[in-house]
Amino acid sequence: MSRVRRKHQRAIVLGGLTPERAAKGDVELLPRAIADEQGRLARPYRALDALSLMAKKGTISPAMRQAGDDFHALFVLAHLDPLRAPDLDRLPHGAPGLHLSLRQAEARKKIWQALKALGGAASPAGSCVWDVVGCQWTVKAWALRAGWAGRTLSQEAASGILVGALGVLQAFYGL
């Protein structure tokens, strides 16, 4: 049996996921078909973020989930995510041109207002929302990296900080 055929059979056994993808974290099949790049219908998998998992478990309310999704949408619109391609408009041997659109500037202003409502970017709630909701880190990864008084946080404490922060965001957005 060829190597490609064995790999295909292994993917079928795992419900369409390869063992490598299954080991990376929680994924779910999209509820409806979407068109791929050739226009054919497909039902791809998507990775679940922290808010999806917490909503699925009932840890957060739908309004808290909406507040987190609103914050993330503003975060992406403001171009604050750390992973991005280099700016190809920069001139060689010169200063980079900072061309913020009005939408980006307004989104950044709204992000800073939300962070001020959370106690600032350096507060536990502000840091958690920035990293977990904005940058889409896992709660566990944030708990290991963040820490106060020289100690890391437990995952349960980090989850509690996120739930509290989402409650503040819910009130801030008026949901």
pTM of the predicted protein model = 0.72
- 149 and 70, same domain (yes or no): yes
pLDDT value for 87 = 60
- 117 and 34, same domain (yes or no): no
pLDDT value for 85 = 62
SS3 (DSSP) at 137: coil
pLDDT value for 72 = 93
Tokens 């980079």 -> residue:
96
Structural domain of residue 39, as residue ranges?
A: 3-47
- 162 and 76, same domain (yes or no): yes
Q: Where do the H-state alpha helices sit in the chain?
A: 3-13, 19-22, 50-57, 62-77, 102-117, 124-128, 139-145, 155-173
Per-block mean pLDDT, blocks of 10 residues, the chain (175 long): 49 58 69 78 75 86 93 90 63 59 90 93 90 89 79 87 94 91
